Amino acid sequence: MRFLLISLLLIDLLQPGRCRAESVKILVQSSPLAGSQYYAISSVWQEIQLGSRLALIREPNNPHDRNAVRVEWQGQQLGYVPRRENHAVAKAIDSGEKLEGRVSRLREDADPWRRVEFEDI
């Protein structure tokens, strides 16, 4: 897993007499797609492309993983953010961050864990 969390402090100096600070956090994480063999990846393989946008949908009541984050493309479930990598993503979504993903790697491979990689952005 590659993971990068950047926190920036932006200060608005354009309004005289009013100085306002705003915090911005950027989460970038690259992950394989977990569980793709059980979902729609085979049926959309010919359509999905590098850079395709992915929806990251929190599943707080998932009975198998309390930090589950579902990955969808055009309304079709493709799999999940891997359990070992989903804590920061789940926490960000739970705190109101609007995260999405994009496809960063596609390859023909018998191992479903190696077929699709995506980045949370």
What would the two tokens of residue 88 be? 């920061």
Q: Which domain holds residue 43?
A: 27-120
User: Considering the domain boundaries, does residue 6 fall inside one?
Assistant: no
Report how many domains make up the chain: 1
| CATH number of the domain where residue 70 is located | 3.30.70.2330
User: Considering the domain boundaries, does residue 3 fall inside one?
Assistant: no
* Predicted pLDDT of residue 1: 41
Question: Are the CB atoms for 56 and 70 separated by under 8 Å?
Answer: yes
At 31 the three-state DSSP class reads strand
Q: Return per-residue pLDDT of the chain as tens, 121 residues.
A: 444 443 344 444 555 555 555 545 555 678 889 998 899 888 898 999 999 999 999 999 999 999 999 999 999 999 999 999 999 999 999 999 888 999 998 988 888 888 888 887 6
User: Considering the domain boundaries, does residue 37 fall inside one?
Assistant: yes
User: Considering the domain boundaries, does residue 14 fall inside one?
Assistant: no
Strand order in the sheet with 69-73: 2-12, 20-32, 116-120, 100-106, 53-58, 69-73, 76-80
User: Considering the domain boundaries, does residue 9 fall inside one?
Assistant: no
* Predicted pLDDT of residue 20: 56
Q: Please name the residue ranges forming H helices in 7-118.
A: 41-44, 87-94, 112-115
User: Considering the domain boundaries, does residue 20 fall inside one?
Assistant: no
